[in-house]
């Protein structure tokens, strides 16, 4: 197991490559300034104890600023397992029926929601009403209307809403953003995002419209949408999209198999992207401008990510994405720190508005204008 000292040394090393860029100043300073660390610790309850919750929790073993202290689950066996693995007291264990009583528990600061997509909004609203910060896995909700309800609920309750955009803290990604901000690529002309894999078990919740809200676009396609925005440093103003479905048995009505979509930006740059549940080996971002380029392959996996630019290979050290994310979330929620690329509810809402527009473009065959 990685020691605390080794983790801090790696964290510091990854920050060294980014200090000159305004977008990275706050996260870099935060990453290298705590040895030994004796500041506030973010106490997190995980909601929905599936595979990704386990990945986050295991990554948090290396955190010094965040800790798993509670769980919310509908499966008693999972609760018992997590209690044994993470030393969680019984008073911090909840079901979906009784977690509103979090309000009277001062030992939990935030709840990280990793349930199926359609449950993000109703559970986030209840968590906010209980006075706890909300961390939602992406996509933040199944549509923009639900996303706005989450934002409104958190504002009303005076708590913060964050979205699990782990790549917004990833060092190689941030180096490309720094280079773009510094003008090293020149005027950006084009972005390509390819996001996809062949999905397995046809009975899983990701292929259930009521739980997932859609198909590949609501899962893997979000990466290309969000990546286009932070790589180009702009929000799109129009979208066009086309759907291809080769297996209507596995990918039933409302579950998109493959969608190609195009985004137009105020600067004149364009993006061409693909989201699919039926093709492997698709995890690539490519950015080109008048002076240079950047390519990341893989661009969004759990890592290590790999990439190169016209100046050479991207070599920043790899840190487990979820460890880095939760360390930075602690700084945001407890110390008022800023993220290098936004991770708040408004950021999540922009992606949801684009997803809504993509589905509309698929349905109508028309270009859909965006106002984000």
**Is the CB of residue 35 less than 8 Å from the CB of residue 8?**
yes
Spatial CB neighbours of 7, under 8 Å, sequence gap ≥ 6: 62, 64, 319, 323
177 close to 21: Cβ distance less than 8 angstroms:
yes
Angle between helices 321-335 and 25-32 (to 10 degrees): 100
- Residue 223 appears among annotated catalytic residues: yes
* Catalytic residue from among 10, 67, 138, 353: 138
Q: Alpha carbon 274 to chain centroid distance?
A: 18
Considering the candidates 165, 223, 277, 359, report the single residue annotated as catalytic. Answer: 223
Tokens 């965006």 identify what position? 370
Q: Find out whether 185 and 179 touch, Cβ atoms under 8 Å.
A: yes
Q: What is the 3-state secondary structure (H, E, C) of 27-85?
A: HHHHHHCCCCCCCCCEEEEEECCCHHHHHHHHHHHHCCCEEEEEEECCCHHHHHHHHHH
Compute the distance between CA of residue 264 and CA of residue 370 in angstroms, rounded to an integer. Answer: 10
- Cα–Cα dist 367/372, whole Å: 16
- Measure the CA–CA gap between 370 and 372, rounded to whole angstroms: 6
- Known catalytic membership, residue 138: yes
List active site positions. 138, 223
């Amino acid at each position: 197991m990685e020691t605390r000292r080794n983790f801090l040394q790696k964290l510091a090393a990854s920050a060294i490559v980014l200090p000159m860029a305004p977008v990275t100043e706050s996260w870099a300073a935060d990453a290298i300034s705590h040895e030994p660390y004796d500041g506030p610790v973010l106490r997190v309850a995980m909601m929905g104890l599936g595979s990704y919750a386990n990945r986050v929790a295991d990554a948090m073993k290396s955190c010094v600023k965040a800790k798993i202290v509670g769980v919310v689950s509908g499966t008693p066996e999972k609760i018992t397992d997590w209690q044994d693995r993470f030393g969680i007291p019984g008073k911090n264990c909840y079901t979906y029926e009784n977690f509103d009583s979090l309000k009277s528990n001062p030992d939990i600061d935030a709840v990280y929601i990793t349930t199926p997509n359609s449950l993000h909004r109703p559970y986030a609203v209840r968590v906010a009403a209980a006075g706890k910060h909300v961390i939602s896995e992406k996509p933040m909700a199944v549509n923009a209307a639900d996303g706005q309800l989450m934002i409104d609920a958190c504002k009303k309750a005076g708590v913060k809403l964050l979205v699990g955009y782990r790549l917004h803290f990833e060092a190689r990604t941030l180096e490309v953003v720094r280079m773009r901000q510094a003008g090293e690529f020149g005027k950006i002309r084009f972005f390509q995002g390819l996001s996809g894999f062949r999905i397995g078990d046809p009975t899983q919740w990701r292929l259930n419209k009521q739980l997932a809200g859609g198909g590949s676009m609501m899962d893997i396609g979000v990466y290309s949408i969000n990546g286009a925005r932070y790589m180009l440093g702009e929000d799109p103003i129009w979208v066009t999209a086309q759907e291809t479905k080769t297996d209507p048995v596995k990918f039933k009505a409302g579950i998109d198999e493959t969608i190609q979509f195009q985004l137009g930006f105020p600067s004149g740059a364009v993006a061409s992207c693909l989201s699919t549940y039926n093709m492997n080996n698709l995890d690539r971002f490519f950015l080109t401008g008048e002076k240079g380029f950047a390519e990341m392959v893989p661009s969004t996996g759990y890592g290590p990510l790999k990439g190169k630019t016209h100046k050479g290979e991207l070599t920043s050290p790899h840190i487990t994405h979820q460890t880095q994310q939760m360390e930075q979330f602690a700084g945001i929620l407890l110390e008022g720190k800023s993220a290098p690329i936004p991770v708040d509810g408004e950021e999540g809402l922009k992606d949801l508005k684009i997803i809504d527009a993509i589905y509309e473009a698929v349905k109508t065959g028309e270009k859909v204008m965006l106002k984000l």
